[in-house]
Structure formats: C-alpha cells, structure tokens
C-alpha cells in the first residue's frame, strides 16, 4: 500500500543510498549470471563489477545481510563518513579505467548506476551529512533482527554472530553521540520511538532465541551479558536524546532540507532529466486534471446514489460525499485475504486476453497472510526472491484484519473498498510489481538489482494501474474511474507535498488542507503522510516521477512508430532492461528501435 518510513530502518550511508521503499525495491533481483561477452572491455568490466560488489558488502555488511550475503553477519559496522568517502573515491578512480564508449548498452547503464552511487556516497559524506542531524540513522536493530529471523544458518551460528555484534553496541552509540551535531526535533523523536523496538529486540527476542539454543552455557552467559550492556547503551542513548528535546524545540535544525540539498538528492535518487520544479508543476496540472474528471464522474453518478438529494455546491464536498458513499461497498473483514486470492487469476487472465504483457506461467504468485513479524508496516507487499536466491517463491503478503478493532477494520475496508482493492492488486501484483520483478530477474545484472531505481519500480506499478483501466478493466464503470482517480490523486499529491514542504516551507496546516480537502484523505492517513514527509525527502516523489517518465516515453515511442506501435511490445521492451532509471532505459530503447 505505502511504505512507512518508521519501518524503513536505515543503517548508514550505504543503505541510505537505497530507496527507502518496500521490500519490492531491495529484493528485486537476478543472480550474477555471466552474460555473453561481446568484447574484452565488457569482460573486464564484468570482473570489475564482481570485485566492486564484494568490496561494497565488506564496507556495508548490513546491506549484504538485506540481500542475502551473510559474510559480514558478525560485523556491526559503525557509520564512518570518511571511510565511506575514501571507499567511493577509490572505486571512482577504478571506474575511470572502464570508459563508457567501449561497453555494451547494458553495461553502460550499470556503469552509470555505479558512478551515480559513488558520487552520491561522497555527497552524503561531505555535504548532506545526515549522521549529524538525523538521529534515526543510528540504530543497531535491523541487522540483528535479520540474523534472528532469517534461517540462513543454524540458530547457534546466528546467535554467535549476534553476540559479536552486541559486543560493539556500546561503542556504536558512543560514536553516535559524538557524531550528532545539530539534530532535528522530528528525527530525534523518531529515533526515540524506534529505539523502543530495539530494546524489545535486545530483550525478549534474544531471550526467546536463547531458549531454543544449544550453545554451551558459557557462550550463552556471555551473550546475555553483552545483551544487557547493549540494552544499557540503547537506554542511555534514548535518555541522551530525551535530554536534548527541550533545546531542539527551540533551535533544532529544520527538517526541511531546502532547495539546494533537495535538488541534489532528487538528481541522485530519481535520476531523471527533469528538475524538481518541472515535476512539481506537472504534478499540479495533473492534480487539476484529475479533480475536474472526478467532478464529472460525480455529477454522472450522483442521481444513482443520491436520487433524492441535490449535490452540494462546493466541488470538493460533492466528490467527497460520493466517494464516502462508494466506500460502503466492501467485503467483510474475514473475506479480505480470500478476495485478494480470488482476484489474482482474474487479473492474469485479463492481461493475457488483452495482450498487455507476457506472463511467466512458471513463476506463480503465492498470496499469503503476512507473516506475523512483518505485519502492520505496509498492509500489502511483495516479497520477491533476493539477487542471491532467485529461485525462491514470490509472495504477495496481505495483512489479515483479524487483529484490528472493529473501527480499524471498518476504516481499512472502506479505504480498500470493492474498487480500490482491485487497484491495489494491480499495483502490487498483476501487472504491477510482481510482473515487473519477474522481468527484472531475467535481465541478469547484479548491479541493477542492488542499485535499484525506486522511481522506475514504483512508476511501473502506477503506470500499470492506468494501463489496466484504459484496457477496460472494471468495465469502464464511472465508479472504478472515480476511485482510481482518488488513488492517482494520492500519488500526485505525494509529489506536491514533498516538494512544497522541503522547498517552499509548506506548513502543517497547509499540508493537512492539501491532503484532507484536495485529496480526500482520511484524518489518519493525512497525519501519517505529514509525519512521513518530515522525516524523509524526495522518496515521496518517486511514484509520480517514475509514472510520468514512463508515460512520456510510451507516447514518444507511439509517435515514432505510428500505426506499427504495439503496447505489448513496448511494455516488454521497456521491462527487459530491469530495474534501471527510466532515462537510461529510454536512451537504450530509442537507439535500439
């Protein structure tokens, strides 16, 4: 559904370089299958890439853990900007020995991704310097949590790795305290909240694992003792952050990063030729277009749903009222997951019948209730095999509603009503994320699966929603288009919100007005979004920027090919380049045609 920043725990500069989005983004991944070599330059570059990736996992062991490389399991890396900077400079120098002109198109893209990543790492270390103002990057939880929950080795071996990490936790937070210069209030509050989760992890979760362990008593005692000291370090860290709150309320750094940093982060993260202000203006035009369309649909539908009442005079009010009415059409709580299971084959059949994109019958999607330890983050998400385990099952996780109060259930069901649930399934599964990931796995580049472009991935999912509706999914019912437009408006307003808050000083009140009144969001959703835009930057624009770029590329190709244009061929050609920024796919596609 959406990604919670609170849940996207970031360890340091390296993981921060990845899009802070759902599992989808990090787990999308092909193996390092050797490609047929066309030249010595390409062969040399393949070797370079292998060595580079190995070095990267040594520099950032937690990144390795995330994607299934466990060589650094026992190492707790302490964020060190000068070491990251030296690392990046060294590899940039090596990269210069592989000039782009001699490489295949696929390697040209890989090269650009590596260069972007290295330049970004230097920028983060020298200029952005998040470790000085974002207290929430200082968090030992995620790595330890992965070691406890992933079954990559016997429990005792994993616990030994946990123990080695725990021993370094006090030093980790001592460095954190020295590094944090002028933090923002908002990230400090986030860090305090997330540290509660770390304390749970270092307490009950470790106790539980130890109860199942067969390690010698001495080892267990050592681990317990290290866990106690680690908990104390986290507790002290929280107390320290707490003590700074009154001062931060007066003169903490602003969470708004401002136009200069924003433009740079946007360039590194989105990797588009558009400037932030161009995208912002486009989003505003699209917002007005969507709202006008929603009003037309409302006028058309009004007599059917409110035969005896006149529509309110204010546009936003009548649209909002009708959406409210349509939201009553939803499944019962117990039928939520079964309904998702029922819809997937229907979507697949539709995609085949309408020649939208070829589906791989050998890679069935499995719908399941989200495993308990992952619930409550995204609502729905795709768990795709990692780059080092491409044969594993792809899961579509859906949070069941049974743990929620009746009020929460009703609210979720109204949000994911009859029409919205279909759009969600299109976005997450068919032909959205799940289909894109299968294509990405067939584009054998480890680099593209590690240095993924979130804008392309989210953009494809958003693009696929519109494509399905345009092909007639939902019978062109005005209800479907209206609810879809509400969803699309959310995507567009994410961009407007992110830009306005970080560049134009948009206030909380203005933000709430945008989300509640202009985008028809519930109070809780709008609050959560306001929280998210305070602690993240640029990521909220990735959905719309990717979508806009893919649409523009499709129109461009359509124009070039005229009557010879085929949607299916365009889609498959586009997807064949894997998780790359749309601008690189564009130049590869246009030169190949």
Chain residues in the site for Zn ion (CB under 5 A) = 458, 461
- In the bound state with Zn ion, the residue whose beta carbon lies nearer, of 118 and 461, is 461
Residue 482 host element (H or E): helix 478-503
- In the bound state with Zn ion, the residue whose beta carbon lies nearer, of 279 and 461, is 461
Beta bridge partners of 184: 253
In terms of phi and psi (left: phi > 0; alpha: psi -120 to 50; beta: otherwise), the region of 68 is left
- In the bound state with Zn ion, the residue whose beta carbon lies nearer, of 122 and 456, is 456
Q: Are 198 and 234 in contact (CB under 8 A)?
A: yes
Residue 413 beta carbon to Zn ion: minimum distance, rounded to whole angstroms: 6
Residue 299 DSSP code: H
Three-state DSSP class for residue 395: strand
Packing angle between helix 315-326 and helix 478-503, nearest 10 degrees?
120
- In the bound state with Zn ion, the residue whose beta carbon lies nearer, of 172 and 484, is 484
- In the bound state with Zn ion, the residue whose beta carbon lies nearer, of 16 and 423, is 423
Residue 62 beta carbon to Zn ion: minimum distance, rounded to whole angstroms: 23
Residue 520 beta carbon to Zn ion: minimum distance, rounded to whole angstroms: 17
List strands edge to edge, sheet with 394-398. Answer: 365-369, 394-398, 380-383
- In the bound state with Zn ion, the residue whose beta carbon lies nearer, of 234 and 461, is 461
Distance CA 231, CA 483 (A): 47
Q: Count of residues for the chain?
A: 593
Q: Cβ-closest residue to Zn ion?
A: 461
Distance CA 257, CA 269 (A): 15
3-state SS, one letter per residue, for 342-377: HHHHHHHHHHHHCCCCCCCCCCCEEEEECCHHHCCC
- In the bound state with Zn ion, the residue whose beta carbon lies nearer, of 23 and 49, is 23
Nearest to 382 by CA among 334, 141, 145, 393: 393
Q: Are 27 and 18 in contact (CB under 8 A)?
A: no
Q: Are strands 365-369 and 394-398 parallel, antiparallel or unpaired?
A: parallel
Helices (runs of H) and strands (runs of E) counted in the chain: 27, 3
Could you please report the per-residue DSSP string of 377-416? SSSEEEEPPPTT-TTSPEEEEE--STTS-HHHHHHHHHHT
Residue 428 beta carbon to Zn ion: minimum distance, rounded to whole angstroms: 7
Q: Are 532 and 540 in contact (CB under 8 A)?
A: yes
Residue 391 beta carbon to Zn ion: minimum distance, rounded to whole angstroms: 24
- In the bound state with Zn ion, the residue whose beta carbon lies nearer, of 14 and 463, is 463
Residue 532 beta carbon to Zn ion: minimum distance, rounded to whole angstroms: 15
Residue 382 beta carbon to Zn ion: minimum distance, rounded to whole angstroms: 8
Residue 431 beta carbon to Zn ion: minimum distance, rounded to whole angstroms: 13
Residue 572 beta carbon to Zn ion: minimum distance, rounded to whole angstroms: 20
Beta strands in 133-234 (DSSP E): none
- In the bound state with Zn ion, the residue whose beta carbon lies nearer, of 461 and 497, is 461
């Amino acid at each position: 559904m959406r990604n919670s920043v609170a849940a996207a725990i970031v360890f340091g500069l390296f993981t921060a370089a990845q899009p802070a989005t759902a599992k989808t983004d990090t787990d999308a991944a092909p193996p390092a299958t050797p490609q047929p070599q066309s030249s010595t330059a390409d062969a040399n570059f393949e070797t370079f890439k292998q060595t580079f990736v190995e070095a990267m996992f040594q520099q950032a062991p937690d990144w390795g853990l995330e994607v299934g490389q466990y060589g650094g399991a026992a190492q707790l890396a302490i964020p060190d900007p000068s070491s990251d900077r030296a690392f990046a400079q060294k590899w940039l120098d090596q990269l210069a020995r592989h000039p782009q002109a001699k490489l295949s198109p696929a390697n040209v893209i890989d090269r650009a991704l590596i260069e972007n990543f290295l330049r970004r790492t230097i920028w983060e270390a020298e200029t952005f310097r998040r470790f000085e103002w974002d207290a929430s990057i200082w968090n030992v939880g995620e790595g330890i949590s992965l070691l406890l929950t992933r079954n990559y080795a016997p429990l005792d071996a994993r616990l030994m790795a946990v123990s080695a990490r725990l021993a370094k936790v006090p030093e980790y937070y001592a460095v954190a305290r020295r590094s944090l210069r002028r933090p923002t209030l908002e990230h400090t509050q986030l860090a305090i909240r997330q540290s509660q989760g770390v304390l749970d992890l270092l307490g009950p979760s470790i106790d539980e694992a130890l109860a199942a362990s067969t390690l010698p008593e001495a080892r267990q005692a050592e681990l317990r003792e290290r866990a106690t000291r680690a908990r104390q370090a986290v507790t002290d860290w929280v107390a320290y952050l707490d003590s700074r709150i009154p001062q931060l309320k007066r003169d903490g750094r602003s969470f708004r990063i401002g136009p200069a940093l924003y433009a740079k982060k946007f360039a590194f993260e989105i990797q588009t030729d558009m400037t932030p202000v161009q995208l912002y203006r486009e989003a505003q035009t699209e917002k007005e277009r969507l709202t006008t369309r929603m009003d037309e649909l409302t006028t058309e539908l009004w007599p059917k749903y409110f035969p005896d009442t006149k529509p309110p005079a204010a546009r936003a009010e009548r649209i909002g009222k009708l959406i409210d009415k349509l939201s009553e059409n939803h499944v019962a709580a117990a039928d939520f997951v079964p309904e998702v299971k029922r819809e997937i084959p229907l979507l697949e059949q539709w995609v085949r019948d309408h020649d939208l994109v070829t589906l791989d019958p050998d890679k069935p999607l499995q719908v399941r209730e989200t495993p308990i330890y992952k619930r409550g983050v995204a609502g729905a998400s795709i768990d795709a095999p990692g780059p080092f385990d491409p044969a594993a099952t792809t899961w579509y996780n859906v949070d069941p509603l049974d743990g929620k109060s009746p009020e929460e259930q009703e609210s979720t069901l109204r949000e994911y009503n009859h029409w919205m649930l279909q759009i969600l399934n299109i976005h997450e599964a068919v032909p959205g994320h799940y289909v894109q990931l299968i294509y990405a796995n067939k584009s054998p580049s480890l680099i593209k699966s590690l240095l993924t472009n979130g804008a392309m991935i989210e953009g494809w999912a958003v693009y696929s929603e519109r494509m399905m509706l345009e092909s007639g999914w939902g019978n062109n019912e005005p209800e479907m288009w209206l609810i879809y437009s509400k969803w699309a408006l959310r995507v567009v307003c994410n961009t407007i919100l992110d830009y306005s808050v970080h560049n134009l000083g948009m206030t909380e009140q203005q933000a709430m007005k945008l989300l509640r009144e202009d985008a028809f969001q519930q109070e809780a959703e709008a609050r959560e979004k306001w929280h998210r835009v305070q602690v993240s930057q640029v990521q909220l624009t990735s959905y719309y920027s990717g979508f806009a770029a893919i649409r523009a590329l499709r129109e461009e190709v359509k124009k070039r090919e005229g009557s010879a244009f085929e949607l299916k061929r365009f889609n498959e050609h586009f997807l064949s380049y894997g998780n790359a920024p749309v601008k690189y796919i564009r130049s590869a596609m246009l030169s190949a045609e």
